[in-house]
Amino acid sequence: MRDSVWGILLMTLSVTVMILYFWALFMSPSNITFLGRSISEWAILLPVLIFVYLFLFVVAWIGWAMATTPPTLPGEEHNEGKNVPPKG
């Protein structure tokens, strides 16, 4: 597909989700519940849960990268950025 088609699709999808989110947050009936919570409560809980999990996933990814990256050799720290050939 062309970029303009993708752009129109993304714009339409985002406006539709904005309208549905506004409805779920402010205009949904309070007598409809799922797992003991109303639709407007879920409209707040789900995005918060997603953002917290995304943040914690990034922190875990950084921790994994730090834990699995091998340490630099002692001689490499002083020669970084210089045009000095290694000894040996």
- Over residues 39-77, the pLDDT tens digits come to 999 999 999 999 999 999 999 999 999 999 988 888 765
Between the alpha carbon of residue 12 and those of residues 15, 22, 23, 87, the distances in Å are 5, 15, 17, 62
Tell me, yes or no, whether 72 lies in a domain: no
Q: What is the mean pLDDT of residues 3-32?
A: 93
Q: Quick one: pLDDT band at residue 85, thresholds 50, 70, 90?
A: low
Q: What per-residue confidence (pLDDT) applies to 9?
A: 95
Tell me, yes or no, whether 47 lies in a domain: yes
Number of domains in the chain: 1
Tell me, yes or no, whether 81 lies in a domain: no
Please provide the average confidence, as pLDDT, over all residues in the chain: 88
Higher pLDDT, 57 or 33: 57
Tell me, yes or no, whether 61 lies in a domain: yes
Residue 84 CA to residue 88 CA, distance in Å, equals 12
Tell me, yes or no, whether 74 lies in a domain: no
In which domain, by residue range, is 20 found? 3-67
Task: Name the pTM for this structure.
Answer: 0.63
Tell me, yes or no, whether 75 lies in a domain: no
pLDDT exceeds 70 at position 84: no
